[in-house]
Copies of this chain bind each other. A is one copy, B any other.
Amino acid sequence: MLKVAIDTLGGDFGPKPIIEGVVRALKQKNFTPILVGDEAQIKALLSPENYASVKIVHCTDFIRMEDKASDALRHKESSIYKAVELVKDGQADAVVSAGHSGATMSLATLLIGRIKGISRPAIATFMPSIDHRKTLVLDVGANVDCNADHLFEFGVMGEVYTREHFQTNIKVGLLSNGEEEGKGNEIGKKAFEKLKALESFVGNIEASDLFKKDIDVVVCDGFTGNILLKSSEGAADSIVRMLKKHVMSSLTAKVGGLLMKKALKKLKKEIDYAEYGGAPLLGLKKCAIIAHGKSNTKAIKNAIFQSIEFGEMDISHKIEARLSNLQMTQT
């Protein structure tokens, strides 16, 4: 049975939604949770039955959001350090954390280690699409400065991950300021050449097409990925707020707004990050899932499911195999 180490201390809302997420996940799937955190707190939040089906690694220290990621390595008593260490030592197969994402990232990279051929692990996240299945974007924040080789590796990792998910032909695109070949910044243009080695590569993709084109993977550096994610989030949020503002300004629209509530609720579900769970850090020898600091019960449950799926699909080995296969055809 798959063993998942879960950091119960790092989230913005404390251990409650995390433990509740674990309990919900246990109802639906078979796995062994290893809860890292304050034993008394954890016990208080679990029924005796659930208490029997988890393992606990006691600790009370954790990395705060305002701490520097670079200090994480010295905090060997912190919950995220201990959780990642369990994976490193083979006592767990995966780690899920809603804590300091920078700390999780550097600890996972340093302790678990990279797949042979991957120089930079990347955070990959699914974004919703209207007419198409969701699109995986990577990197969305692990590496602010990237070279063409890094972007190429992101393309390979994204291809493998989505192929395992969708079990069909995959289309990989490179985020750019225009569709035509020749668009892009200096690094992007070099990455374009390298990505041609993938049959799945379909060329440049513009940010406006992300939500409508039948694209499965969008490759970008972590800085641009952050801008892409945050501006989409900001624009979507603003549209909904503007709509509400206009609705409140007229009575007929107010009535209309009430009637449309159901539609808005459906919409919210469609764009809710909690539906997606967390974001896997691709490129490591084992699985690390970075959950949102504001994760609720459902988001944690889904992040755990992602880690189980990751193990079942054997993602890390498949990335390694794909890379060595590509190297063979290139030499």
Report A's interface with B, CB cutoff 8 A. 128, 130, 141, 144-145, 175, 177-178, 184-186, 188, 206-212, 220-224, 226-243, 245-247, 249-250, 252-253, 255-264, 266-267, 270-271
Kindly provide the distance from the CB of A210 to the nearest chain B CB, expressed in whole angstroms: 6
Assess the A255–B259 pair: CB atoms within 8 A.
Answer: yes
13 example contacts (A-B, Cβ-Cβ < 8 A) are as follows A177-B222, A177-B223, A207-B234, A210-B234, A211-B234, A223-B224, A231-B232, A232-B234, A236-B238, A243-B263, A246-B266, A247-B263, A256-B256
A259-B267 contact in complex given A145-B186, A227-B175, A231-B228, C-beta closer than 8 Å:
no
Assess the B270–A262 pair: CB atoms within 8 A.
Answer: no
Question: How many monomers of this protein are in the complex?
Answer: 2
Assess the A177–B226 pair: CB atoms within 8 A.
Answer: yes
Assess the B246–A256 pair: CB atoms within 8 A.
Answer: no
Which B residue's beta carbon lies closest to that of A182? B68
Q: A224-B227, A256-B256 are in contact. List 10 more A-B contacts (CB 8 A).
A: A144-B177, A208-B234, A208-B237, A210-B231, A232-B235, A235-B236, A243-B260, A249-B263, A253-B260, A253-B262
A270-B242 contact in complex given A231-B232, A235-B236, C-beta closer than 8 Å:
yes
Assess the B185–A223 pair: CB atoms within 8 A.
Answer: yes
Contacts of A239 in B (CB 8 A): 235-236, 239-240, 267, 271
A255 to B241, CA, bound (A): 21
Assess the A212–B238 pair: CB atoms within 8 A.
Answer: yes
Assess the A145–B211 pair: CB atoms within 8 A.
Answer: no
Assess the B249–A231 pair: CB atoms within 8 A.
Answer: no
Contacts of A227 in B (CB 8 A): 175, 177, 207, 220, 224, 227-228, 231
Assess the A226–B238 pair: CB atoms within 8 A.
Answer: no
Assess the A231–B235 pair: CB atoms within 8 A.
Answer: yes
A interface, by DSSP: helix, strand, loop or mixed?
A: helix
Contacts of A232 in B (CB 8 A): 231-232, 234-235
Kindly provide the distance from the CB of A227 to the nearest chain B CB, expressed in whole angstroms: 5
Kindly provide the distance from the CB of A143 to the nearest chain B CB, expressed in whole angstroms: 9
Kindly provide the distance from the CB of A226 to the nearest chain B CB, expressed in whole angstroms: 4
A259-B252 contact in complex given A144-B177, A177-B141, C-beta closer than 8 Å:
yes
Contacts of A234 in B (CB 8 A): 207-212, 232
A184-B236 contact in complex given A242-B267, A263-B243, A263-B250, C-beta closer than 8 Å:
no
Contacts of A221 in B (CB 8 A): 185
Contacts of A235 in B (CB 8 A): 211, 231-233, 235-236, 239
Q: A246's contact among B184, B206, B212, B267, by CB below 8 Å, is which?
A: B267
Which B residue's beta carbon lies closest to that of A129? B238
Contacts of A185 in B (CB 8 A): 144-145, 221, 223
Which B residue's beta carbon lies closest to that of A256? B259
Which B residue's beta carbon lies closest to that of A211? B238
Contacts of A271 in B (CB 8 A): 239, 242
